[in-house]
Amino acid sequence: MKGECFVKKIMITTIFVLSLGFMTLFNTTSVFAGGSSHGAVIEGIETSAEYGHVLDYNNTNEVLERINYISYIRDWNAGSYKFYTMSPDNGTQLIKKGTLRLETGVGNTATSLADIYSAYGVNIKLYVTSDGTTFSEVTGELDAKGYYANDVDLKGYYVEYEMTRDTILDLSVALYVTHEIRIDYDKLTPAQKAGTEGLAQWLDSKSANAAATPNYQRIFIVNPEISGTVKYQQLADQADMPVWDQATVIADVPVDLLRADGSIIASTKTDANGRFVFSNQLDNATGFNLANSSEQLYISIDGQGMKEWQVVAGTSVVLTDDLALGTIIDVSKSQTDFDFAMSKTDWKSGYTNHDLKGENALGSQFILTNFEKAQDVSTVTAHYLDESGNILADAKKMSGPVNAAYQTEKLDIDGYEFKMMDPLSAAVSGTFKQNHQDVIYIYTKVPGTNVLPETGSGYVEGVLGGMLFLISGSAYVIINSKRK
């Protein structure tokens, strides 16, 4: 495994040494002349900054790795040759504990320190510092894979090529020092947190025994914003479409940032202005942490049963699913704050495309709607009859919305007492139905009373009136016949 890793690094050496350059060092004598090349590069999951800067999305599984390469070839005098690498003085970046690793080889072949010393008399040593001043040798503490099991973050290291004798190197004696970078986000400036200013450069010796000076490469923190505004509008009809300027902002609407599997990354609610913000760099925003930059992201608005719309170019479009944002890279490529960082980045394969769904992440507009449906109204009539069906009292008619409750009452009627409800009667109390309902109270006459039905007498009076009409008509005929 070590050999495979070393060969892989050798293959990219000719590219990334350009970040520090190729140095030819001439000794004081005319007999010996040696050459060395030294390069350093930071690589991330998405970007390989062989010629430019690298991005940091602060994801859980994201690793920023720094690779330092030093190679010696040709003839060398006996002596000590040191190359330093230091983290920035402001403490924003450190060598992550447990990740420092030294790999050595001759030519394109991984070779142990002992074998290099035995063959060429070159003694390679590794020194580290946790305070930036005091260095301690840890060569003997490296494990079988070349890792130094430090339990604290480090501020720097240097590698020493100790030539124990005048040496002729027919093949390059090369080494790689790799480590992960830990970024202290609390120490970043506002501009660095916003991605408009790169982090301070790492420092490397550009020649043997030279002080470490700033490298070209910078890290840019990319913390894109995911935000939007939610409004509410009541529609008169289901076929109506909401209009953004006619809707009103709505507070306390739950909003979730989701993964493709529906799991929640972060949750928030709209504020008094109907606005929600997910961000790791803005005040009063909800932070979020991704596993990696390849995750597909979605916004979910909890309309609590209301219809959900997104306003696109001034037109309301029904949302039938959660709003897709693409990946965090798509989101950042859609925000101009990161244009400079993006332009200086060499994207790895698989991250070069820009899904335009990322444009949904910044300032999206949502409208929640419902509509006021005209309620259906129905009626219930209470009837008061005797056993023969005569009307004993005025019917009482009531109306109300379908499914609303109604209540009828049993009346006290002189000379009658309640007997039963008619078999065809609706319930005395219940709810209004789509169809009209009749509640029928049946009464029976109290023995010993001689009371005509109150309103039912209309039926009797009609009969008596007809009889009187016939009598009066007969009298009129008789009188007229006598006059003749």
Predicted confidence band at 5 (pLDDT cuts at 50, 70, 90)?
Answer: low
Each residue's pLDDT tens digit, 28-87: 233 334 456 777 888 888 887 655 788 998 888 888 999 998 887 766 788 899 999 999
| Type of residue at 166 | D
Predicted confidence band at 89 (pLDDT cuts at 50, 70, 90)?
Answer: confident
Each residue's pLDDT tens digit, 176-194: 999 999 999 889 898 888 8
3-state helix, strand, coil in the chain (%, to 5): 20, 40, 40
Cα–Cα distance between 209 and 192 in angstroms, integer?
A: 32
Predicted confidence band at 453 (pLDDT cuts at 50, 70, 90)?
Answer: low
Nearest CA-CA partner of 260 in 229, 301, 235, 294: 294
Cα 380 → chain centroid: 54
On the 0-12 / 13-18 / 19+ scale of CB atoms within 10 A, 181 is buried
Cα–Cα distance between 400 and 398 in angstroms, integer?
A: 7
| Type of residue at 421 | M
Cα–Cα distance between 55 and 69 in angstroms, integer?
A: 21
Cα–Cα distance between 257 and 298 in angstroms, integer?
A: 6
pLDDT at 32: 37
The whole model's pTM is what? 0.68
Cα–Cα distance between 250 and 309 in angstroms, integer?
A: 14
Domain boundaries, the chain: 2-221, 226-371, 377-456
pLDDT at 238: 81
Predicted confidence band at 440 (pLDDT cuts at 50, 70, 90)?
Answer: very high
Each residue's pLDDT tens digit, 101-155: 999 998 888 899 999 999 888 999 999 999 999 999 999 999 988 999 888 999 9
Asked if residue 128 lies in contact with residue 148, where contact means CB atoms within 8 angstroms, the answer is: yes
Predicted confidence band at 458 (pLDDT cuts at 50, 70, 90)?
Answer: very low
CATH of domain 377-456: 3.10.20.320
DSSP letter for 48, please: B
Mean residue pLDDT of the chain comes to 83
Q: Which of 101-110, 358-367, 452-461, 468-477 has the weakest average pLDDT?
A: 468-477
